[in-house]
């Protein structure tokens, strides 16, 4: 199922990592983004007058029910509440067909680190697939899993964990 499109960079230091000859290596240049941006869909974000530019991240935030859908423990199915939220996102995305989004998948801390990376990917893709089924071109949607690395709530209780099992839609301006 996974179609492997892999380019191996064998010791091709200069090719991929310009900074690699330096002693302090952490600053990796951003890896090339997979999908070349179709023309940036929106103009520059709104002028500082408080005006919200149509099609912008701020507009998205204002227009949709929520940018976040939640999941059950170790689950990744889109429940009715999530459907309603994603429907509102789909409506907005239909209105602005050039806008690209990324969906972040997140988990609570009650899973092991590496499993959570897989689970976050499941959640992000569940949201993506739902939007795709609503007519949003999959090519407009990238996904990234953060596992349990970026919790929204930092408590260690059911309430916090419920908030952290989530998929967050981010508009790429």
Residues in the site for other proteins, rule: CB under 8 A?
A: 1-13, 16-17, 20-34, 74, 76, 109-115, 117-119, 121-122, 124-126, 129, 144-146, 149-152, 154-156
Angle between helices 113-133 and 80-95 (to 10 degrees): 60
Residue whose CB is less far from other proteins, 13 or 137: 13
Residue whose CB is less far from other proteins, 92 or 108: 108
Residues, the chain: 173
Structure tokens at 29: 């240049």
Q: What DSSP character marks residue 91?
A: H
Taking alpha carbons only, the member of 3, 2, 20 closest to residue 11 is 20
CB of 47 to other proteins, least distance (A): 28
Q: Vertex 121, ends 128 and 115: CA angle to 5°?
A: 160
Burial class for 121, CB neighbours closer than 10 Å (0-12, 13-18, 19+): middle
Residue whose CB is less far from other proteins, 85 or 141: 141
CB of 169 to other proteins, least distance (A): 15
CB of 82 to other proteins, least distance (A): 15
CB of 153 to other proteins, least distance (A): 8
Residue whose CB is less far from other proteins, 92 or 168: 168
Residue whose CB is less far from other proteins, 17 or 58: 17
Q: What DSSP character marks residue 49?
A: T
Q: Which residue has the tokens 């801390």?
A: 109
CB of 112 to other proteins, least distance (A): 4
């Amino acid at each position: 199922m996974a179609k492997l499109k892999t380019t191996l960079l064998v010791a091709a230091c200069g090719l991929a990592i310009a900074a690699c000859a330096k002693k302090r290596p952490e600053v990796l240049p951003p890896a090339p983004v997979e999908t070349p941006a179709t023309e940036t869909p929106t103009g520059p974000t709104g002028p500082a007058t408080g005006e919200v530019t149509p099609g912008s991240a701020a507009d998205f935030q204002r227009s949709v029910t929520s940018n976040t859908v939640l999941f059950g423990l170790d689950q990744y199915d889109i429940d009715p509440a999530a459907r309603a939220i994603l429907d509102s996102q789909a409506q907005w995305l239909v209105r602005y067909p050039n806008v690209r989004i990324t969906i972040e998948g997140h988990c609570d801390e009650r899973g092991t680190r590496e499993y959570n990376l897989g689970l976050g990917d499941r959640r992000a893709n569940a949201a993506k697939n739902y939007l795709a089924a609503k007519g949003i071109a999959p090519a407009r949607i990238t996904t990234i899993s953060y596992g349990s690395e970026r919790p929204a709530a930092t408590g260690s209780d059911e309430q916090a964990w419920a908030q952290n099992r989530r998929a967050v839609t981010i508009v790429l301006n």
